[in-house]
């Protein structure tokens, strides 16, 4: 046993094992060095994936490419370079991991086989990369939960393609699948360690993850080439790819359909209609409910929050006679952020004037962003409490051109538009990069990133976080993490928290000032999920790249951010010839 370096992969000689370990660890260290040199503020969660088991390395390359593409010729050159370099790294890794008891293919054969595996994986991983890019624009967990599991299934199916030329007639080896899942876990933990540990520990994390990658390469190659090909050719991997594509399409449509049905089913039931423009006598605190993106309201009174409150729905359409909010359709929620801030402030002032008291606001998803930006721009608005349900944490980590001009994220923005057209009529949200709301988030990137963590003078803030949204939460070093006021985590998905009985109960207790039950376990789970998910998000665009695109990328104080937002609202109001918001 003295000549065995890796007991679980017999038939591997010592020299080639250390060469493979050096290649894997060196790749991660080189990416770490390049990243910290060009973007000192970055968190290098993707560095351990530089030469990870296929196709995780391809998945990492594509996510970098999705952020850093600025023109179609540049994209073509970058994609070709990605294919060649990744094929070469994969071929070298497979050659070094090849069992010494079997004849190793010639280097040219290894390269072309690895190139095929890289190309197949890249094509199948593009949809996952596109939705993850969208999650960096507007951080909604539905996008992460659609992209990452699909990418993991691709890895399970296609990992033999770059290794064996007869992959199409072999069964997918269970040991190979085990290495894929183990790699996913270790890479997640490595990304978490890089986010949590100080900079001095980063090289050690990358070196150790590189050693594991070498171990995974050896194990997966032995698992694939150590099995005999089937006597009767059965295209198992191609069939699995077709099944995967069908499952993803059907699952996406079903998931969006269920989300749409849930949203419609949770629409508040009609209550007794109050006198237009005035609350019923004897009611308690006035609460303005600001629903999320793609919501609709028929104009009837609604009371989803239990408690002695007078609840009024915010209208994305505006106010009618007597200051009464008008019913609105889902299309009305697709407005720019300055326009929505203006509508919100006018309704807040109308409600406060009609009730004679400051208003409590409950905003969800897009509604939380509207309420927070409006109050940050106009801190004198008559609001006493603000509950942020499913807030959009650190939006605008990447950018894309909103027209046909050049700029970072050009191809990814176009791909989001294609995805939106493919899901038209099924998706409960508008993913089009040209929609007014998403375009306004993009135009304000990265200034909006820290907005949710900003304090508000004379306003008590509270955040209700669904556990699923931890998958798109920013890292501990990224502005936008809600840490300056109380938070509460519930086991739920993004959106619908106010209509959900458990979420509505928490909101009611917060508005009444009652103590909430202990939440330490879910708080810990939320932070843990956020840490390990960082390895599978797309990287944030570097501040220097924001500056090159004409964006102000330097850190703004909350006061400076508020003044910038106020200027945009006033500019929009002036263009609409509306009166000033005093």
Which range, of 144-153, 444-453, 461-470, averages the lowest pLDDT? Answer: 444-453
- Tell me which range, 2-11, 398-407, 465-474, is most confidently predicted by mean pLDDT: 465-474
What is the 8-class DSSP label of residue 402?
Answer: S
Q: Tell me the pLDDT tens digit for each residue of 20-29.
A: 999 999 999 9
Give bridge partners of residue 286 from the DSSP assignment: 310
Residue 465 pLDDT exceeds 80:
yes
Residue 121, judged by CB atoms within 10 A of its CB (0-12, 13-18, 19+), counts as: buried
- Indicate the SS3 state at residue 364: strand
Residue 273, judged by CB atoms within 10 A of its CB (0-12, 13-18, 19+), counts as: exposed
Q: Residue 330 has what pLDDT?
A: 87
Q: Tell me the pLDDT tens digit for each residue of 206-258.
A: 999 999 999 999 999 999 887 665 555 555 556 666 666 655 555 555 444 44
* Strands of 309-313's sheet in order across: 309-313, 285-290, 359-364, 383-389, 460-466, 487-490
Q: Residue 262 has what pLDDT?
A: 45
For 388-407, what is the mean pLDDT?
A: 84
Could you give the CA distance from residue 179 to residue 139 in angstroms, rounded to a whole number? 30
Could you give the CA distance from residue 78 to residue 85 in angstroms, rounded to a whole number? 10
Residue 329, judged by CB atoms within 10 A of its CB (0-12, 13-18, 19+), counts as: middle
Could you give the CA distance from residue 441 to residue 239 in angstroms, rounded to a whole number? 41
Q: Tell me the pLDDT tens digit for each residue of 303-355.
A: 888 888 899 999 999 998 888 899 999 889 988 999 999 999 999 999 999 88
Residue 482 pLDDT exceeds 60:
yes
Q: CB-side exposure of 13: number of CA atoms within 13 Å?
A: 7
Q: Tell me the pLDDT tens digit for each residue of 545-578.
A: 887 777 777 677 889 889 999 998 888 888 876 6
Average pLDDT, the chain: 83
Q: Residue 426 has what pLDDT?
A: 53
Q: Residue 442 has what pLDDT?
A: 77
Residue 51 pLDDT exceeds 80:
yes
Residue 405 pLDDT exceeds 80:
no
Q: Pick from 447, 419, 391, 401: which is nearest to 564 by CA?
A: 447
Q: To the nearest whole percent, how much of the chain has pLDDT over 90?
A: 44
Please name each of the domains of the chain with its CATH number: 14-261 (no CATH), 270-399+445-575 (3.40.50.1820)
Any idea which residue has 């080896």 for tokens?
Answer: 173
Q: What pLDDT band is residue 266 in, cutting at 50, 70 and 90? A: very low
Q: Tell me the pLDDT tens digit for each residue of 91-139.
A: 999 999 998 888 888 999 999 999 999 999 999 999 999 999 989 988 8
Q: Residue 547 has what pLDDT?
A: 76
Q: Residue 104 has what pLDDT?
A: 87
Q: What pLDDT band is residue 420 in, cutting at 50, 70 and 90? A: confident
334's CB contacts (< 8 A; 6+ apart) are 293, 430, 435, 436, 437
Residue 269 pLDDT exceeds 60:
no
């Amino acid at each position: 046993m003295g000549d065995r370096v890796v007991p679980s992969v017999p038939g591997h000689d010592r020299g080639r094992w250390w060469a493979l370990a050096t290649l894997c660890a060196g790749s991660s260290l080189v990416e770490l060095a390049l990243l910290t040199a060009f973007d000192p503020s970055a968190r290098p969660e993707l560095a351990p994936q530089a030469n990870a088991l296929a196709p995780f390395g391809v998945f990492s390359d594509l996510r970098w490419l999705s952020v850093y593409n600025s023109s179609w010729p540049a994209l073509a050159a970058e994609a070709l370079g990605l294919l060649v370099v990744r094929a070469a790294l994969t071929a070298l890794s497979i050659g070094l991991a090849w069992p010494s008891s079997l004849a190793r293919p010639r280097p040219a054969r290894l390269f072309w086989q690895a190139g095929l595996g890289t190309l197949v994986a890249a094509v199948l991983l593009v949809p996952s990369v596109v939705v993850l890019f969208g999650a960096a624009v507007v951080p909604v967990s539905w996008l992460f939960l659609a992209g990452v599991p699909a990418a993991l299934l691709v890895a399970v199916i296609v990992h033999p393609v770059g290794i064996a030329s007869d992959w199409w007639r072999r069964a997918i080896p269970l040991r190979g699948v085990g290495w894929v899942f183990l790699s996913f876990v270790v890479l997640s933990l490595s990304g978490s360690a890089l986010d949590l540990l100080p900079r001095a520990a980063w090289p050690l994390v990358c070196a150790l993850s590189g050693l594991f990658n070498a171990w995974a390469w050896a194990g997966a190659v032995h698992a694939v080439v150590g099995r005999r090909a089937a006597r009767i050719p059965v295209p198992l991997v191609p069939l699995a790819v077709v099944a995967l594509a069908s499952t993803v399409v059907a699952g996406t449509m079903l998931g969006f359909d269920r989300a749409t049905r849930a949203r419609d089913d949770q629409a508040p039931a009609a209550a007794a209609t109050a006198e237009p423009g005035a609350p019923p006598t004897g009611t308690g605190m006035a609460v303005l409910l600001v629903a999320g993106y793609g919501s609709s309201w028929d104009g009837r009174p609604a009371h989803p929050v239990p408690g002695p409150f007078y609840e009024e729905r915010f209208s994305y359409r505006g106010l009618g006679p007597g200051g009464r909010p008008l019913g609105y359709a889902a299309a009305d929620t697709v407005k720019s952020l300055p326009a929505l801030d203006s509508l919100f402030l006018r309704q807040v002032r109308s409600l406060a004037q009609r009730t004679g008291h400051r208003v409590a606001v409950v905003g969800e998803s897009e509604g939380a962003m509207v309420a927070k930006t409006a109050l940050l721009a106009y801190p004198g608005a008559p609001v006493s409490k603000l509950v942020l349900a499913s807030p959009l944490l650190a939006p605008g980590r990447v950018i894309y051109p909103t027209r046909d001009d050049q700029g970072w994220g050009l191809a990814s923005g176009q791909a989001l538009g294609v995805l939106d057209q493919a899901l038209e009529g099924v998706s409960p949200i508008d993913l089009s990069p040209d929609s007014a709301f998403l375009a306004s988030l993009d135009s304000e990137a990265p200034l909006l990133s820290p907005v949710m963590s900003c304090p508000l003078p004379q306003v008590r803030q509270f955040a209700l976080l669904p556990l699923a949204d931890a998958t798109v939460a920013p890292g501990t070093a990224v502005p936008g993490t809600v840490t300056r006021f109380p938070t509460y985590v519930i086991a739920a998905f993004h959106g619908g928290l106010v209509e959900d009985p458990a979420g509505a109960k928490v909101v009611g207790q917060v508005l009444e000032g009652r103590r909430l039950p202990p939440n330490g376990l879910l708080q810990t789970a939320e932070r843990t999920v956020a840490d390990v998910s960082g390895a599978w998000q797309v990287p944030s665009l570097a501040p220097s790249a924001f500056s090159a695109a004409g964006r102000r990328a330097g850190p703004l104080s909350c006061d400076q951010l508020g003044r910038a937002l106020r200027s945009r609202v006033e500019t929009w109001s002036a263009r609409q010839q509306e009166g000033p918001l005093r």
